[in-house]
A and B are shown apart, each in its own frame.
Chain A
Amino acid sequence: MREQFESPIVLLGARLLSPYIMLFGIYVIFHGHYSPGGGFQGGALLASSIILIRISGGRIISRLQIREFFTTPLAAIGVIVYFLAGFVAVLYGGYFLDYEALPFPGDLSPAELRYYGILVIEIGIGIAVMAILVMIYDHMARGEDYV
């Protein structure tokens, strides 16, 4: 049995760091069109910011951020977002994952449609990777009776 105690200093440090890591993760996802990055990397960064709060704060505080039962549906939602980006294109008369057929509002050229299609799937990947990493951590930590 490991000794456990609350440390306000560690929690304060984690609370200071976590939003900036999360902001950087969102930046990496949305700026993947112009710089190195993308869904997988940004999702890992988002997951790291959430897991940081979970490690330092324990179960009760982390429940305020993302509930434990909420991660598995979120992972499925990420995969479904990607799949729908392909399937809606099929419904509108294109190939599977052919973003030119996606019905985005506004008068957009095919290149811009592809731009926004890539953005949609990057967001889907980011959500799925974040939720899966947090889910794995939750199920690993459940055996330990942490505060």
Chain B
Amino acid sequence: MKYAKILILAAFAGLMIYGSMGLPDRADPDNRMHQERSITDTVVAGSYFIREAYNDANTPNMVTVVLGDYRSIDTFGEQVVVFAAGLICLLILRKFRPV
């Protein structure tokens, strides 16, 4: 029974790895998921990010450009959430002096 479990897990892992080999390259702007058109018949945003990230921000790392520039307000919100979590920990864990 134990060996059957391991065998099933190994077979499943092999299936997933085999499936992942068929995925298209994400960085290629010509692949099919970036050819998709939105409702208003414009190209989807990911295609623009891949083509223009370096020209817009002079930065080779596309993820940094998306996080820090195109979606910087989202990152600002993340930072405020982290800050709020820290303040809540401070309020809960703080030792108040007994009155």
Chain A interface (Cβ < 8 Å from any Cβ of B): 32-36, 38, 40, 72, 75-76, 78-79, 82-83, 86, 96-97, 99, 109, 111-112, 114-115, 117-118, 121-122, 124-125, 128-129, 131-133, 135-136, 139-140, 142-143
CB–CB B73/A136 < 8 A: no
CB–CB A32/B58 < 8 A: no
Q: Report the Cα distance A75→B67, complex, angstroms.
A: 20
Q: Report the Cα distance A136→B72, complex, angstroms.
A: 26
CB–CB B60/A34 < 8 A: yes
Q: Which residue of B lies closest to A124 (CB)?
A: B79
CB–CB A86/B76 < 8 A: yes
Q: Report the Cα distance A72→B67, complex, angstroms.
A: 25
CB–CB A99/B86 < 8 A: no
| Residues in B whose Cβ lies below 8 Å from that of A34 | 59-61
Chain B interface residue bracket vs A: 20 to 34
Number of A-B contacts (CB under 8 A): 96
Determine whether B85 belongs to the interface, using a CB cutoff of 8 Å to chain A: yes
| Residues in A whose Cβ lies below 8 Å from that of B65 | 118
Determine whether B57 belongs to the interface, using a CB cutoff of 8 Å to chain A: yes
Interface of B is mostly: helix
Chain A proximity mask over B52-74: 1 for CB below 8 Å, otherwise 0: 00011111110111011100110
Identify which of A35, A99, A129, A139 gathers the most chain B CB atoms within 10 Å of its CB: A139
Shortest CB distance A52–B (Å)? 19
A-B contact pairs, 5 of them (CB 8 A): A34-B59, A111-B55, A118-B57, A118-B69, A124-B79
Of residues 70 through 84 on chain B, the ones whose CB sits less than 8 Å from some CB of chain A are 72-73, 75-76, 78-80, 82-83
Determine whether B95 belongs to the interface, using a CB cutoff of 8 Å to chain A: yes
Q: Report the Cα distance A124→B73, complex, angstroms.
A: 14
Determine whether B94 belongs to the interface, using a CB cutoff of 8 Å to chain A: yes
CB–CB B76/A33 < 8 A: no
| Residues in A whose Cβ lies below 8 Å from that of B76 | 82-83, 86, 97, 121
